[in-house]
Chains A and B, each alone.
Chain A
Amino acid sequence: MADATSSVPRNSLPIPCSVASTSALLRSRRAHSSGLFNATPLPGGHGLDDLKIDGEPDHRLLAFLHVAEKAAAGRFAIYRDVVNDDPLTQAIFDKILRDEVFHMNYTYTQLARISPASYRRYVWRARASRLWKRYLRIAAALAAIVGAVMLTLQYFILVPPFAWLAKRAERREKSGWVPIPHDRVESATSQY
């Protein structure tokens, strides 16, 4: 947690210093929340692409990075080979590949250094995690297709009468300025 008192002098407002870490509070709330309001059933605010480094042990992070870099290196090796007839593009892919290989090796070396007894196990666990996420992606994509089919059916079965009403209302609308009533009270709590 950042030192609250050290950041206060940027303005002169008296801000009470909290003893508890807000981050910790928010994290614990999230852990206990039902997930009902989470945007996605997949972990993290950014779905499967989320990467929370804080709180992760070094060995897990290094194993994850090694596997990810190795996968990327494999892909760029293919790209490099595919563009045999274009030396300039090939040189670019070669440069990127070199970078990926460096990262791949560096993370592996560091993982082996900090966990000499079990670094292979960590790498396998990271590979299994990628496999699990791949399954989740497929499952989510399948769910999205089923959802889209259901909604499309509803669109053609339920929506037409409402669409007719909406189009009729649209024809009556005037373009140009729409006055905002002077006495309109902005509701603080309404979502409408």
Chain B
Amino acid sequence: MRILGISAHYHDAAAALVVDGVPIRAVQEERLSRHKNDPSFPLAAIEWCLDDAGIDPEELDAVVFYERSMLKFERILTCALRAFPRSWRAFPHAIKNSLGEKVWVRGIIASHLGVPRSKTLFTSHHAAHAAAAFFTAPTRRAAILTADGVGEWATLTVGYGERRDKGDSAINLLREIRYPHSLGMLYSTFTAYLGFAVNEDEYKVMGLAAYGRPTMVEQVRKLIRRTADGAFALSTDYFEFHTTAARSYSGKFIDLFGAPRNPFDPIDLETTEGRRFADCAASVQRVLEETLVDIARALQRETGLRDLCLGGGVALNGVANARILAESGFERVFVPPAPGDAGCALGAALYADRLYFGNPDRDVPDHPFWGPLVDASELTRAAREDGQLVEELEEGALLNRIAGELAAGRIVGWMDGASEFGPRALGHRSLLTAPHSSEMRDRLNREIKFREEFRPFAPVTTVEVADRFFEVPPGGLRLARFMSGVFPVRPEWRSALAAVTHVDGSARLQALDRDMAPRLYALLEAYGRRTGIPVLLNTSFNVAGEPIVNRALEGYSTFRRCGIDLLVAGQAVITRRASARPRPLEEEMACSESAVASGVE
């Protein structure tokens, strides 16, 4: 049975292909269109999934969309009505937006793919999150908690999933919290207040939080009160996200927290204002963690289960995930590599396979590498044409060479095999460097990533030695598999791992299993043999504002535009040549005019 899952129209559109119960291809639209967080209908992703698997659209048994679009429209319309007359500005926009495209999903799919309308199926948004979290996790029975901004009406659901001995499986969502009461929207509101991009920069709030003190927790608690049944409710007076598209927070919110940050002003943590913003971030982070831990703890008591599957965009908050693991009573916490909306494409396909069609459960390979393969020959051709130094090395020599370059302080662009599905670079589209000095972190921020100084970098190490360098609690290695948890760096290693140790002594660790990314694992071993510390700094292979690179040529383009020293794809190693002295502008402009005049005309 061949099932295509699609997520689109909000943010992070994606397509995923499931054949006979197992995912075989999945990619986010942004990786192909090169528009970051691309929300448009993922035609390029669908094309790639089907093309690469050699499947025609007619051969699909079902195409599953990740949410019920009319139910979502109902929510948008209802919220506009409830906010009358304050919603008068948002109303035309919302109606045009929804009726222009979003509610015609069945027609769009039929039109583009040519599949009969009867083959187009729907799941609810949080059911897709739950399926993405549960069906990809290696567990028989687990509690499920999904939390994000909003799906149709639900913003947070709890339940449980089970794989039965007969081969069938089930997901039972027990209850939900409904819009506008949303942990995701609370966090996004602070993201906007702190001058960052909503649905994109929430992780910056998490990074900034470590610099602040939670001095405004009581103020944040005025925004979110706990209800008697253990849920929560937002005090909607402080918010405007449910009444207008223009702003997330209200004047009352500003009265409580002070003036919002101008997005164009840098955050200077030496100033009072800078510290106030950091304290805001720390406070909302604290309240988010406490709320999630409470809900998870109650769920553990209710279900008595040992495993928890976390889904939804809120599950990208590694600090909260680590606290849930430590304090909720669950022994293992599973977060898929793509817990956000992109992962819903995979979740929707798996949900349809297991629950709509009743197919027997199949183990899902426990890795995130479902995207396009890198073509090293494409890279070598481009680099040679461009006059760069290209070497093709045998595997052992390549690993030793790269380990040596890393030890010498070089920055390496590392492209290997299929690209990751999800927002994290987990070893197939990564920038790697030595993690030892804060100068390296500053150089990466300044020359490569062009991003704020307060944002931390993540370490990768092998699963066998992770505990030597990091305080990984029981069950923590599972969270660290897809870089989903933040754990303390052991105090004695903090100075030796300065580039990946955040200001609060923590790190968002990736603990690498040999089977998941054998080449990177071997590189870590080679680096460890050379330096005694088998830990590398692993950050996504992109520059600020761009999606993670996908094809070799995109890697090469990034390599040429910033200060990466070496680029590796397959057996090819490209080393940056010292650039020629830039010519004066006038000389540059005159150059091609004379070339055209003399050589062509």
Contact = CB atoms under 8 A, between A and B. Distances in A.
Interface of A: 1-2, 4-5, 7-8, 10-11, 13, 15-18, 20-23, 25-26, 29-30, 33-34, 36-40, 45-46, 94, 97-98, 101-102, 104-106, 108-109, 112-113, 116, 119, 144, 147-148, 151-152, 155-156, 159-160, 162-163, 165-167, 170, 175-180, 182, 186-192
B397 interface: no
Interface stretch (B53-61, B419-427, B448-456, B523-531): B53-61
Given A46-B40, A155-B92, A179-B175, A192 B56 contact: no
Interface string B58-84: 010000000011110010001011101
Interface in B99-114: 100-101, 103-108, 110-114
A108 B24 CA distance: 43
A23 B51 CA distance: 6
Contacts of A8: 53-54
Contacts of B38: 46
B178 A178 contact: yes
Contacts of B118: 189
Interface centre among B38, B81, B114 (most CB of A within 10 A): B81
B127 interface: yes
Given A16-B54, A191-B122, A166 B81 contact: yes
Contacts of B227: 175-177
Size bin of chain B's contact surface: 35 or more
Interface of B: 19-20, 22, 24, 33, 35, 38, 40-41, 43-44, 46-47, 50-57, 59, 68-71, 74, 78, 80-82, 84-85, 88, 91-93, 95-96, 100-101, 103-108, 110-114, 118, 120-124, 127, 157, 159, 172-178, 181, 227-233, 352, 355-356, 365, 373, 418, 582, 585, 588-589, 591-593, 595-596, 599-601
Interface centre among B70, B82, B124, B599 (most CB of A within 10 A): B82
B14 to A, nearest CB: 14
Nearest to A151: B92
Given A38-B111, A148-B96, A188-B122, 13 more contacts: A13-B19, A29-B114, A33-B112, A37-B107, A45-B43, A109-B592, A109-B595, A112-B599, A163-B81, A176-B228, A177-B231, A180-B176, A187-B122
A105 B588 contact: yes
Nearest to B33: A46
Contact of A147 (B70, B92, B101, B122): B92
A148 B43 CA distance: 29
A109 B596 contact: yes
Nearest to A173: B178
A104 to B, nearest CB: 8
B355 A186 contact: yes
B63 to A, nearest CB: 12
B43 A22 contact: no
A163 B233 contact: no
A25 B60 CA distance: 14
Contacts of A151: 91-92, 95-96
B52 A2 contact: yes
Contacts of B20: 13
B35 A22 contact: no
A26 B175 contact: no
A46 B38 CA distance: 9
A97 B541 CA distance: 26
Contact of B51 (A1, A46, A187, A191): A1
A3 to B, nearest CB: 9
13 contacts: A4-B53, A7-B52, A18-B56, A23-B51, A29-B111, A29-B113, A46-B33, A98-B588, A112-B600, A148-B93, A151-B91, A177-B230, A178-B176
Contacts of A147: 92, 96
Contacts of A36: 107, 111
A162 B84 CA distance: 10
B373 A7 contact: yes
Contacts of B24: 10-11, 13, 15
B124 A162 contact: no
Contact of A175 (B78, B176, B233): B233
Contacts of A38: 111
A104 B82 CA distance: 53
Return the 10 tightest CB-CB contacts between A and B, nearest first.
A4-B54, A105-B592, A163-B84, A151-B92, A166-B81, A176-B227, A175-B233, A191-B70, A39-B101, A22-B50
Given A11-B365, A113-B600, A178-B176, A152 B51 contact: no
